[in-house]
Amino acid sequence: MEKHNLENVNMYNDIIKNNEQSMQQCFNNFKNKINIMSMNRVTPQLLEHVVVTSVYNKTIPIHHIATIIVHNVNTLKVTPFDKKIIKNIEKAILTANLDVSTQIINLSIYITMPIITESRKIKLLQRIKTETELFRICIRTIRRKTNNKIKLYLKNKEISENVEKKLQHIIQKHTVHYITCISNYLKQKEKDILQY
């Protein structure tokens, strides 16, 4: 009987820990994405999440197949190690929805970030708000999946109804916490962007 109770305690702790870790990871991904989207100057980080489809139909992170340097205040220079995939790299950059323009000169791709104007700020804020909503959905999806696991444990009589309610309460607290963190981060980024 003691062993069974210990297993339940471990299961209880695992559910809470896994939920917390998943939501924290979602929040970290959100911050990274928003930070990249809201850069007011170019850095190689802008291309951090760009993946290129090679001639062999493999997806490869751009920094594995090219050098990326800051050319000037609003331009990056990307020089592929293999000149045959320059078009693939350009296509990956353009489809990454980074709001940049590209130009191929002397076997290098020059990526220009437009100067921040009022209309660009508005577009950027709209894109960030859309992205923010996707991450709120991510948090709620994690909650739903965790609650479904909890219901399954209850159905299989691995936990009691009291434990189910306690777990759901904790999961809801996590959800509210991370949704609030996302909203607060968004507010701060909006202020930052409007001050550019």
User: What pLDDT, on a 0 to 100 scale, did the predictor assign at position 51?
Assistant: 92
Mean pLDDT, residues 64-77 taken together: 91
Categorize the per-residue pLDDT at 110 as very low, low, confident or very high, splitting at 50, 70 and 90.
very high
Domain ranges of the chain: 2-37+117-194, 44-112
Which of 34, 25, 36 has the alpha carbon at shortest distance from 138? 25
128-165 pLDDT, tens digit per residue, is: 999 999 999 999 999 999 999 999 999 999 888 999 99
User: What pLDDT, on a 0 to 100 scale, did the predictor assign at position 196?
Assistant: 67
User: What pLDDT, on a 0 to 100 scale, did the predictor assign at position 1?
Assistant: 39
pLDDT at 54 over 80: no
Q: Which amino acid, one-letter code, is at 156? A: N
pLDDT at 120 over 50: yes
- Specify the higher pLDDT residue, 130 or 57: 130
Q: What is the pTM of this model?
A: 0.72
User: What pLDDT, on a 0 to 100 scale, did the predictor assign at position 57?
Assistant: 82
Categorize the per-residue pLDDT at 40 as very low, low, confident or very high, splitting at 50, 70 and 90.
low
Record: fold of 44-112: Gyrase A; domain 2 (3.30.1360)
User: What are the residues whose beta carbons fall under 8 Å from the beta carbon of 146, sequence distance 6 or more?
Assistant: 15, 18, 19, 22, 171
Q: Report how far residue 18's alpha carbon sits from residue 34's, in angstroms, rounded to the nearest whole number.
A: 24
User: What pLDDT, on a 0 to 100 scale, did the predictor assign at position 119?
Assistant: 85
Structural contact between residues 129 and 175, judged by C-beta atoms closer than 8 angstroms: no
- Specify the higher pLDDT residue, 149 or 124: 149
User: What pLDDT, on a 0 to 100 scale, did the predictor assign at position 3?
Assistant: 45
Local structure of 52: helix, strand or coil: strand
pLDDT at 71 over 70: yes
Helices 161-194 and 118-155, axial angle in degrees (round to 10): 170
CATH, range 2-37+117-194: 1.10.132.20
Two tokens at 132? Answer: 């923010």
Structural contact between residues 43 and 73, judged by C-beta atoms closer than 8 angstroms: no
Q: Using a pLDDT cut of 70, give the percent of the chain over it.
A: 94
Categorize the per-residue pLDDT at 15 as very low, low, confident or very high, splitting at 50, 70 and 90.
very high
User: What are the residues whose beta carbons fall under 8 Å from the beta carbon of 8, sequence distance 6 or more?
Assistant: 158, 159, 163
Q: Are strands 108-112 and 59-61 parallel, antiparallel or unpaired?
A: unpaired
Categorize the per-residue pLDDT at 5 as very low, low, confident or very high, splitting at 50, 70 and 90.
low
Structural contact between residues 186 and 147, judged by C-beta atoms closer than 8 angstroms: no
Give burial (CB, 10 Å; 0-12/13-18/19+) of 166.
middle
Q: Name the one residue in this structure whose structure tokens are 């299989």.
A: 156
